[in-house]
Amino acid sequence: MRRLLPKINPPAESPSEADAAVQELPLEPAVSIPESPVKGQIKAAADLAESPVEPERRAKPLPELPLCFMLSHVEPDGPVRLDGVKLALTELMGLELDAPKLGAFAGLLNACDFPLQLLVRQHPPDLERMRRELEDVQPVDLPDQTREAARSQRRLLAELESREGILDRRFYAVCEEEHAQELRGLLARSGLSIHPLEGEPLQRLVIAAALGGSPARTTRDGPVEVQLNQRSIKLGGRLARSLHLSKWPRSLAPGFLQQLMATGAPMDIALHLGPIPSEQAARQLEWQKVRFESARSLSLRRGKTMSPEAEIALEDVSRLRDNVQRGRERLFHASLSLTLHADDPDTLDELTQRASAHFAAALGQLDPLPFRQREGLLSTQPLSLNAVAHWRTLDTSSVARCFPFSPPDLDTRSGALYGIDMRACAPIVYDPWDGTHLNANTAVLARSGSGKSFATKLGVLRGLCRGVVGYVIDPEGEYADMARSAGGRVLSPGVAGQGMNPFVLDRSDPEELLQRIGSLRRLIDVMVGERLSAERRAALDHALASYYARPSGRTGFRDFYRFLEGDDPEGLAKLLRPFASGSLRHLLSDEGDDLLHNEALVTVFDLRLLEPELRPAAAMVCTETVWAAAARDPRPRLLVVDEVWSIMQHPEGAAFMVSMAKRARKHRLGLQFITQDVQDLLSEDHSRTITGHSGRALLQNAAFKLLLQQDAAAISTVADAFDLPEDLQRWLISCPRGDGLLLAKGERFPIRIEATPEETELIEWRPGRH
């Protein structure tokens, strides 16, 4: 094998040590590239999907798939190349880019002893299946205005498929089948979520990678025209252009490929890696070190000094040799290729300029591969084949900084659209009740005027359009008009005819009975407006247990009050008299049974008629009533508690909310609590009766946290609670109304809330506004 001496690159702040230390060792491709006609007709889908799987000992027939795609056939668990090598494909989930993940990825590379291809595909999303599902689950009794809002959401999904810059990004790892289990084990240990591809998803991916576009849109019928040109390839009705990174940057910054993907271009990026044995790498580095030292000695004898570049190269090679010998670093043959996709030549040229400018800014250079477009296209296929056959030697740290599995996305293609991911340029779609999340709870923290009420109303509206029953505890009457226009109902606790009965429960479940007795005890503690003494709390607990131990019959607050009056040595009945015969006698009544038997699409509990000191008790009554409905008939429900801090101010109210957040998942209830008093919720002032420990416990039991615009005085508290870096802190202070940060599954997603005009009209509806 011919050895080439490397060029000495200029110094950099974070040099790629292997670039200056190791000579280039070109590798030949594993398969020779046969000649192919310039233009031809192929049947891509039928050949991939219907090629028979031959027994291992039987000679395989001549492949029907044209040689231009270098495939023999696709078996159920992996494609087979023309040279007979069977491959294994693994889909990976994206991760947030940070130092620990880079370190874990570098550890994966150090343990890899076989060739590996890392593939990133980003293309316009396909949301057709989601649109059909939304139409199928839509309730039949929606009012006309709500039905039009649901229809507009499906139109928005269709518009996102063709909107410029909105992309679907997927990550893959490809290797030979014999190394599949080892690779998947390494990927899992490095913190990546793996999903082996088999069957129909595998076939669709192979077809889509060859022809471009989304695997979900790939069709199996009809021939596809492939035309090779000097600097592009025509695949059916679309154009593709393959490029190769011929000159690597002198230094690689973390997230190097992430910034390329953020340009918003449909593309396929392939990073081929071939590990160099450590013994061979150490010998080559030692030879380089001796070479540089000899050159320095010769210069000194002649009365000259080495150039600064040569001195830096000597330091690099010495340090890299030591790291290789100690096992901290490895050397890899690396090759980076990308294929851009567009509908017309002008767009393709524009995308090419964007990609070239990205590499040029880092002192890299892309090769347009004239007359070698086919080789470039093959290099970005899931074949683990570098058909361009041009390699560069990199060390582990440099390869790890590429880290192609970022940024993450939150697009499950099931549930509702919650917004647009501004960093990944992808829709944020998920279903809190699909069982893949810890719970369906959401915390919304924002300053006044940041759009938290609008975002909450939009979530409630899109939920009810797919059958999720919504309840809102509204202390200021902000949600009443939206509920009426959406076909829901508005209840005013304390008004005659609109009472509730949280004392109804199922006594056949001992666990549920014990938990509900504790909740009712806390509710009564908040109702009386003072913390009960130990004796009174014990008497109340005894009274509740005795009350529910009676033979089954109708239960309610007034019935419990009469039971309590019969034997009340602690005077509890006197404390509860306003709720039995006073001005609040309609708050707790049997009228609430209708809420349990005849649920509306959305119900708003309007508390604005109550005095501020009575609203926490009323909010707890409403919450307990919704919990009774959820315990009786578990189904997806959403309970929104606005200004939750008004409840959290009371020790018993805080304990009640934390308990509710922990138990909601059991009955498929999603708890969404909103507050603008972020500092109060998260404070650590131990001089107060209730501290931030309960607020933080409430947040810990929320699988989703939505942070909208924050006040500068509270950003340090928020940053400490959610471990936010300084750049995100500055962004949250100045981000526009409706933008924010969604925290879910341990990742951060910059989100933009987007509603259609029809949804906005319904959310902001006011009686007589027109």
Q: Which of 31-45, 691-705, 710-724 has the lowest mean pLDDT?
A: 31-45
C-alpha distances (whole Å) from 652 to each of 48, 319, 522 are: 64, 62, 5
Determine the pLDDT at residue 383. 93
- Answer left, alpha or beta for residue 449, where phi above 0 means left and psi between -120 and 50 means alpha: left
What pLDDT score was predicted for residue 596? 58
Q: Residues with Cβ < 8 Å from 94, sequence gap 6 or more?
A: 169, 171, 405, 406, 407, 408, 409, 424
Q: What backbone phi and psi angles, to 5 degrees, belong to 4? A: -115, 135
Distance CA 710, CA 733 (A): 5
User: For residue 689, is pLDDT > 50?
Assistant: no
| pLDDT at 535 (0 to 100) | 86
User: Contact at 8 Å (CB) between 337 and 369?
Assistant: no
Q: Give the CA distances from residue 57 to residues 54, 78, 79, 269, 292, in Å, rounded to whole numbers and listed in that order.
A: 8, 18, 18, 36, 54
Taking alpha carbons only, the member of 336, 212, 195 closest to residue 273 is 336
The whole-number pLDDT of residue 189 equals 92
Residue 55: partners with Cβ closer than 8 Å, 6 or more residues away: none
87-to-80, 274, 368, 679 alpha-carbon distances in Å: 6, 16, 28, 54
> Is the pLDDT at 46 greater than 60, yes or no?
no
pLDDT at residue 351 greater than cutoff 80: yes
3-state secondary structure 91-158: EECCCCCCHHHHHHHHHHHHCCCCCEEEEEEEECCCCHHHHHHHHHHCCCCCCHHHHHHHHHHHHHHH
* Of the candidate ranges 322-336, 470-484, 510-524, 681-695, the one whose mean pLDDT is the lowest: 681-695
Q: Which residues, at least 6 apart from 564, have a Cβ–Cβ distance to it below 8 Å? A: 543, 547, 572, 573, 576
Q: Average the pLDDT over 464-482 and give the result.
A: 91
Position 250 scores a pLDDT of 78
Cβ(457)–Cβ(148) below 8 Å = no
Position with higher pLDDT, 67 vs 587? 587
pLDDT band (50, 70, 90) for residue 506: low
In 3-state terms, what secondary structure has residue 432? coil
Residues 576-629 have pLDDT tens digits of 888 888 777 777 776 544 565 678 889 999 988 888 878 888 888 888 888 878
Question: Is 432:440 a contact under the CB 8 Å cutoff?
Answer: yes
| Average pLDDT, integer, range 162-189 | 93
pLDDT at 103 over 70: yes
Task: Please give the average per-residue pLDDT across 723-729, as a whole number.
Answer: 91
The pLDDT confidence band at residue 724, using thresholds 50, 70 and 90, is very high
pTM given for the model: 0.82
DSSP 391: -
What pLDDT is recorded for position 691? 45
For residue 162, the SS3 value is helix
The per-residue pLDDT for 546 is: 86
Whether pLDDT at 273 is above 90: yes
Put residue 400 in one of left, alpha, beta given phi > 0 → left and psi -120 to 50 → alpha: alpha
Q: What angle do CA 107, 113, 117 make, to 5 degrees?
A: 85
Please, where are the H alpha helices in 212-343? 256-261, 278-301, 308-325
Report, as an integer, the average pLDDT of 47-76. Answer: 56
Q: Over pLDDT 90: what percentage of the chain? A: 35
What is the rounded average pLDDT of the residues 48-66?
43
Answer yes or no: is pLDDT of 554 > 70.
no
Q: What does the pLDDT average to over 71-93?
A: 91
**Rounded to whole angstroms, how far apart are CA atoms 258 and 226?**
30
For residue 327, what pLDDT band results from cuts at 50, 70 and 90?
Answer: confident
CA distance 369 to 350: 17
* pLDDT given for residue 219 in this prediction: 61
Residue-level pLDDT at 44 = 40
Length of the chain: 770
> In DSSP terms, which residues pair with 705 in a beta bridge?
443, 743
pLDDT above 60 for 28? no
- Reply yes or no on whether the pLDDT at 24 is more than 70: no
Higher pLDDT, 422 or 523: 422
Give the mean pLDDT of the chain: 82
How confident is residue 34, by pLDDT bands cut at 50, 70 and 90?
very low
Those residues with Cβ within 8 angstroms of residue 117's Cβ, 6 or more apart along the chain or in another chain:
173, 174, 175, 270, 271, 272, 273, 382, 383, 384, 385
Contact 134, 413 (CB under 8 A): no
Does residue 29 carry a pLDDT above 80? Answer: no
Residue 327 backbone class (left: φ over 0; alpha: ψ -120 to 50; beta: rest): left
Q: Which tokens sit at 159?
A: 């518009």
Question: How confident is the model at residue 73, as a pLDDT?
Answer: 85
pLDDT single digits (tens) 176-230: 999 999 999 999 999 999 999 998 889 889 888 888 877 776 665 667 778 888 8
Residue 441 has pLDDT above 90, yes or no: yes
* Confidence grade of residue 552 (pLDDT, cut at 50, 70, 90): low
Mean pLDDT computed over 389-397: 89
